[in-house]
Structure 1
Amino acid sequence: MSEQAKVSSFATRRDFLRNAALASGAVATVASNTATADVLNTAAGRQPNVLMICADQFRADFIGASHENPSAKTPHIDALAKRGANFKQCMSNQPLCSPSRASFMTSRYATETAVWKLGIELDHSLPTIASEFRKNGYTSNFIGKWHVSQTDMADGKKQMGWIPPGPSRGGFDDLWEGANVLELVSHPYEGNYWDDSGKNIGFKDVYRVDFITNRGVKLIEQKHDKPWFLFLSQLEPHHQNDVDEFVPPKRYEDKYIDPYIPEDLRNLPGNWRSRIPGYYGCVQAIDDCVGTLVAALERTGQLDNTIILFFSDHGCTFRTRLGEYKRSPHESSIRVPFVIAGPGFDQSATINEVVSLLDLTPTLLDGAGIKPVTSMRGKPLKELLHDPKARNAWDSTVYFQISQSICGRGIRTSDWCYCAFDPTVQHGEAEYSKHYQDFALYSIAGDPAETLNLIGRPEYKEIANELRAELLKRIIAAGEPEATITPIHYYA
């Protein structure tokens, strides 16, 4: 490495650690320091720990490092991006909580996992990220919002809260602290939350993000005899369902009175005018979480040997599209943050190839030196950081599915987003269709805010034909029945 590169690398790491350390004061109830000698877990040659942080309904353009939003305050996530890799074009393959989670945990499409809509149990025959880590010598630990178990059990245990030991935990068989549908059993400053044995360890007078963060710190500070994998799953900035509000911590209640409004929202009806200040506050609370966890890793001597991934399951449209917060083919719904740092990923890189959450599990397994199982559909993303030939050969086309708003299928390329739907299928009625019709065509390159639907316009007929044909191929490749798509010939 040249002297200039060494200086640059050192400065990047110095800034990263400084920002991470600042976070320790952001969460007032963070666990107390433990002597470094007692919690030093990193051993020479040991596989890296893996920390996977999911923030629910977090828009990709609310990360400061993306330079898309001047009001976004995310210094700790930005520090991760500066140190590691920021995949700016990552797509959710099913922009709805349960289907997305089932999909990224198995690296399979939602229709392959059985969880194609809310309230369905994950297919336990599928390998998951947790089962694969555990099979390869890791402990697999879960804290937070689960949401991939059925919600109509007669005994009520799976309906809202505790998931008993067994296959319903998806391989997270070491530590379990969570709730199946967290936003229905808790509020931002008071709620129910179950530990591994089924005991309610609910919280009160502490912000939910901070409570879950502190549980993660507690795990990090333990002495570990094996490398560990932790999926820390935050609810925020997802809206609180029963009041339809984005509830920020009190420390940020009045911070975002007149914030920047993303271009895709400005001219559309929805509820963004009243809801977006709270959303910004929730986003900053999530950034505090990231900083606090990174500071705990540094304090315990584990930072250099831990892969950290920050991402979301789907975005947020503020009811500007289809009257939904998500469940639409638009960028605000399907594009998600994907920032990764740690051993093998510390490249200070911005990646513009189109990737998807199907790549999450293979990427983390590969990063830990574990070969992903062949049934997984995603690809390890580390090759995009290290191999120019891989970038040139990368397939920047992502296939996605939509349910519970429309029955839709679409593809997102570097330049275009195309979607088809079945207008005869009502809300959540069908897993798939055999007969779709054109729904939307947007130029991502020319109209990133997707202000003009181009489907049906004669000057874009050739593009629509090409994307329609490609989508039909992707439907079959995803294991779904062969389908037809009827073109439309009017302006949408």
Structure 2
Amino acid sequence: MSARPNVIVVFTDQQRWDTTGAQGNPLGLTPNFDRMADTGTHARLAVTPNPVCGPARAALQTGRYPTANGCYRNAIPLPESERTLAHHFADAGYDTGYVGKWHLADADPVPESQRGGYGEWLAANTLEFTSDAYRTIVYGQDGEPVLLPGYRSDACFDAAIRFVTDHHDRPFYLFLSLLEPHHQNEVDDYPAPDGYEQRYQGRWMPPDLAALSANGGTAHRHMGGYLGQIARVDEGLGRLHDALRSLGLAEDTIVAYTSDHGCHFKTRNSEYKRSAHDASIRVPLAISGPGFTGGSRIDRPVSTVDLPPTLLDAAGIAVPEAMQGTSFLPLVRDPGAEFPDEAFIQVSEAQCGRAIRTKRWLYYVSDPDADGWDDAASSRYVETELYDLEHDPHQLNNLAGYPSHRGVCDELRSRLLARLAAAGEDAAEIVAAPEPVGAPVRHVDPVARSLSVPPIRFS
């Protein structure tokens, strides 16, 4: 292994966490991701810091929450003053490259000043508008349009493999940003390669979407194409690993695979994400390569805002103090290492909200009077949702306002306020949720539940 590992980030768009076999999906969609999870490191409770494209991407580039880096919603260019992974790796002597969707500028082609410090460039700001399934238009270093042949995710993987081939003799950092499995906006469809939609249509439905189908939504119409896209992406991931192996780089290259957010197929609101439910916030996350081998499994919540410091840490590069994420490399080595007990989420555009996701609880607050597009934050939030994920993993029974869970909300409110402060947000008030009309009488005694049970003897 070389002294400095190469680093590749494979980044999908709108991919649910439960589409991978490593998370129990029964269709065999992701054998290459599953192999990474099995032999590398698998973060089983990975969440996004914001379930919207631009903010999630800005956080992953900078290691800072969207309100801190300025990109709290879409259509805000990443400030040129923000330092990205590309800057840090370049300063350490790495060649850097970006392929695919950027979504952190205000124009196509993306001006060099808005490319986040990446050296080589083959990308479009809004790939969903410059391309369709079999016509992928990106822009090169000179800003001229480039047609990449083949199905869109294949074309982007091909470009990534060319970058790896061209830079095999020097340390490199590559960010590959795919559009799949995002919908094609102008037709509101999920165009999979020929035959792939038919292969998966009607074979599997996430339990939350099946339960919420009475509310409407598009899952039954789109699931086949969505899953077909994911299957083809995983084939591309396999080809990338094959290329690394053939070039003798497999043992020297860290590969991280994750997504910007999930997809609830219009069952929680009028579009596909922008809610605090697991369908929106949970994403796949697996890492292979130096520092991540051995089949480590992280069962504590981690955020993709934690990925930038983790990658720098694994490459032996000092993590800047400005980064708000926390390297989870210590958890790879020791599951009991000190690490935050919850992940913090900011929700924008559809609402102005904040949430924390613990292993058991999802606690969400929002400002009903705020404009989620214009208001980056609020000084007054109202408890909106509370889910007991141990007994309600698909978040179908909102417990916010139940007297039985007042103590739980009080504790989570305190933890959320602390996370607001740590993210650099102004102090805010969180108002208790009103008691639901007709709420059933329940009793939760956390003290009694913590008492040890004496051993039971059998005669």
TM-score, normalised to structure 1, is: 0.86
Q: Deviations over 1:362-396 (max 9, x none)?
A: 11111111111111111222211213541xx3222
> For the residues of structure 2 that align with 1:247 and 1:136, how far apart are their CA atoms?
40
Which of 364, 373, 380 aligns to 2:311? It is: 364
> Is 2:381 aligned against 1:410?
no
C-alpha deviation, 1:233, in angstroms: 0.3
Amino acid at match of 1:264: D
Change (3 A) 1:281 1:388: closer
> For the residues of structure 2 that align with 1:322 and 1:462, how far apart are their CA atoms?
29
Could you say what secondary structure the match of 1:428 adopts? Answer: coil
Look up the match of 2:243: 296
Amino acid at match of 2:367: D
Could you say what secondary structure the match of 1:468 adopts? Answer: helix
> Is 2:117 aligned against 1:171?
yes
Look up the match of 1:126: 82
Look up the match of 1:259: 203
> For the residues of structure 2 that align with 1:396 and 1:247, how far apart are their CA atoms?
39
Amino acid at match of 2:305: L
**Kept after mapping to 2: 8 A contact 1:347/1:385:** no
C-alpha deviation, 1:491, in angstroms: 2.2
- Percent identity over the alignment is 38
* Structure 1, 279-288 or 218-227: larger mean CA deviation: 218-227
Q: Deviations over 1:227-257 (max 9, x none)?
A: 0000000000011111111111114131012
C-alpha deviation, 1:425, in angstroms: 1.8
> For the residues of structure 1 that align with 2:301 and 2:331, how far apart are their CA atoms?
11
Look up the match of 1:229: 173
Could you say what secondary structure the match of 2:145 adopts? Answer: coil
C-alpha deviation, 1:309, in angstroms: 0.4
Change (3 A) 1:267 1:388: closer
Which of 182, 185, 192 aligns to 2:127? It is: 182
> Is 2:371 aligned against 1:426?
yes
Could you say what secondary structure the match of 2:340 adopts? Answer: coil
> For the residues of structure 1 that align with 2:280 and 2:327, how far apart are their CA atoms?
24
Look up the match of 2:418: 473
C-alpha deviation, 1:191, in angstroms: 3.5
> For the residues of structure 1 that align with 2:2 and 2:185, how far apart are their CA atoms?
46
> For the residues of structure 2 that align with 1:295 and 1:232, how far apart are their CA atoms?
16
Look up the match of 2:22: 65
C-alpha deviation, 1:490, in angstroms: 2.5
1:334-353 equivalent positions in 2, closer than 5 A: 334-353=281-300
Look up the match of 1:318: 265
Q: Unpaired runs of 5+ in structure 1?
A: 1-43, 151-157
> For the residues of structure 2 that align with 1:223 and 1:395, how far apart are their CA atoms?
37
Amino acid at match of 1:170: G
> For the residues of structure 1 that align with 2:223 and 2:435, how far apart are their CA atoms?
34
C-alpha deviation, 1:224, in angstroms: 3.9
Look up the match of 2:145: 200
Q: Unpaired runs of 5+ in structure 2?
A: 438-459
**Kept after mapping to 2: 8 A contact 1:72/1:280:** no
TM-score, normalised to structure 2, is: 0.92
> For the residues of structure 2 that align with 1:279 and 1:333, how far apart are their CA atoms?
15
C-alpha deviation, 1:350, in angstroms: 1.8
**Which runs of structure 1 show a deviation greater than 6 angstroms over 4 or more consecutive aligned residues?**
none
> Is 2:100 aligned against 1:144?
yes
Look up the match of 2:185: 241
**Kept after mapping to 2: 8 A contact 1:442/1:452:** yes
Q: Deviations over 1:68-116 (max 9, x none)?
A: x212511111111111011000110111000000011111110011111
Look up the match of 1:4: none
> For the residues of structure 1 that align with 2:384 and 2:91, how far apart are their CA atoms?
43
Q: Deviations over 1:175-215 (max 9, x none)?
A: 100000110111111142111111211245x2100111110
Residue correspondences, number: 434
* Structure 1, 214-223 or 113-122: larger mean CA deviation: 214-223
Q: Deviations over 1:286-320 (max 9, x none)?
A: 10111010011011111110001000011111111
Could you say what secondary structure the match of 2:387 adopts? Answer: strand
**Kept after mapping to 2: 8 A contact 1:131/1:172:** yes
Could you say what secondary structure the match of 2:224 adopts? Answer: helix
> Is 2:50 aligned against 1:94?
yes
